[in-house]
Amino acid sequence: MTVTIRQNDFHAPALAALIAGRPERAEALLRPILAGDPADAAGWSLLARAMGDMGRFAEELELCGRAVALAPTTGEYRAQLGKCHARRMDIAAAEECARAALACSPLSDLVLDAIAAIHTRLGQHEKAAVVLSRAADEGSRNPAVHFNLGSSLKFTGDFDGARRALETAIGLAPRYIKAHAALTSLGGITADHHHLDRLTALIATVPDARDRIHLAHAAAKECEALGRYDEAFIHLRDGKAALLKALGADPRESAKAPAAVLAASPPAVTGTCRAEPIFVVGMPRSGTTLVDRILSGHPDLTSIGEFQHFAQLLRHATGVATRHLVDEAMLERVASGRVDLDGIGHAYVEKGRQLAGGAERFLDKFHLNVQLVGLIAAALPHARFVCLLRDPLDSVVSNYRQLFEFATPLYRYSLDLAAAAEFYTGFRQLATRWAALLPGRFKMVAYEALVADPEPCVRDLLNFCGLSWHPACVRIEENRAAVATASAVQVRQPINTSSVGGWRRYAAHLGPAQAVLGSAAA
């Protein structure tokens, strides 16, 4: 966390507590100070940060507002408030804060970085890159600024610029672990140009498994590019085993959400919204970004990317705090009739159209919405769903090879081969269920068929979505829109079959996954 010190000496202990990850201690220190001086804008700003670190987001928003009211020309406080609005996806308010912050003077690189974070959270990666480029051009020595610039440039397709920014970050902070991993993710690894020596040397010096996992994945990716697949697997296996031990986590916890949905009766259709959003769902790494690029190439459909809007609205409406997208308590609330699914549907569409720049039709490609299809279909009776199906072993291996966030159970299945296979099995059961319950609204698409012969599959997809044929939909490499997913590099290339059958490179190591998939098929 980055916190500037504009505060007086009384704030120093609270600031130290925040940096040390002790927000409760920071709150205890700040409350007496603010009781004695309620006009202390910097104190309110620090207390707001403490609230955010504790997940008390409503209080964070209110306290940020106090800081801005007391010091309206301070860009730092404006940007902090904007980040709060962006978290809530209050787009207009977040953008207004970003504009107001940029109008303040002077602007440090830390404030510019905070303004860019507003745009990043809203999916406005081009705007984020512009703000971060300004900070870099003005001579920022903060490695985080250059790392964030590299990330934004990657999302917008400027891979050479991203490499330069990430190397700058590493030059400023040689142990900047995420910068090393992000550099590898840009590809371009050859026998004459790779970072394996640097990565393996760094791995040996990093004690925390939460940090080391980023380097393990980066080293595995570079080994793959050099054809050293057994070595790549060892990096993944050892890194993931150490991370699971450090987390004290059960990777099979991820399967609880699909299991809860399969055990519950789907809700009746109660929605009245006439909107026709398209939801692209499936296992992560199954081709959902590819289909997003195909469909968003059509002039009548705008992608809003991967935003968990529906899940957030559902969580708020049910009042259930869960670490999963959906759980038994949520589904019980819905079944009781105490949840206004129609209201959720209208609110979702309103937010989606804002994110789509006012476009009438939009596409949501948050893949794990496959767990919410029954609820979405009930709330939005004209929504349609495109579900990607990929070879089971390719799906499992591709998820195992990808580093997802691991703070919640959503993707922890990817840390263990058997757990990933179990999660895949639950996904396939969900897909089969929705296809049976929603004929004409839920379409399953085989990834292998799509990449082998794109045009007929794309024509069929467009027809399902109620869209006319458009040749740009096949030429995804010409789609210049930003991509903020793990496929950001791949989808800048023409549709191809290079990922089909990749599991065979790891066949000697896949016994645990094959056993689970074999049992499920029996």
Please give the distance of CA 39 from its chain centroid, rounded to a whole number. 38
pLDDT tens digits for 462-502? 999 999 999 999 998 877 666 555 555 565 678 899 999 99
* pLDDT for 193 beyond 50: yes
pLDDT tens digits for 510-521? 999 999 999 887
Give the other-Cβ count within 10 Å of 167's Cβ.
Answer: 14
* pLDDT for 431 beyond 90: yes
pLDDT tens digits for 434-463? 999 999 999 999 999 999 999 999 999 999
Burial class (CB in 10 A: 0-12, 13-18, 19+), 190: exposed
pTM: predicted TM-score of the whole model, two decimal places:
0.86
Q: Which residue has the tokens 């902070």?
A: 173
The CATH class, in words, for 254-521 is alpha beta
pLDDT score at 477: 82
Residue 423's nearest CA partner among 260, 254, 281 is 254
Residue 443's nearest CA partner among 451, 433, 453, 435 is 435
pLDDT score at 267: 92
Q: How far apart are the first and last CA of the chain?
A: 50
What distances in angstroms separate CA 50 from CA 12, 61, 219, 444, one per listed residue? 14, 11, 36, 45
pLDDT tens digits for 117-166? 999 999 899 999 999 999 999 999 999 999 999 999 999 989 999 999 99
* 492 residue type, one letter: R
pLDDT tens digits for 390-429? 999 999 999 999 999 998 999 999 999 999 999 999 999 9
Residue 483's nearest CA partner among 185, 132, 279, 271 is 185
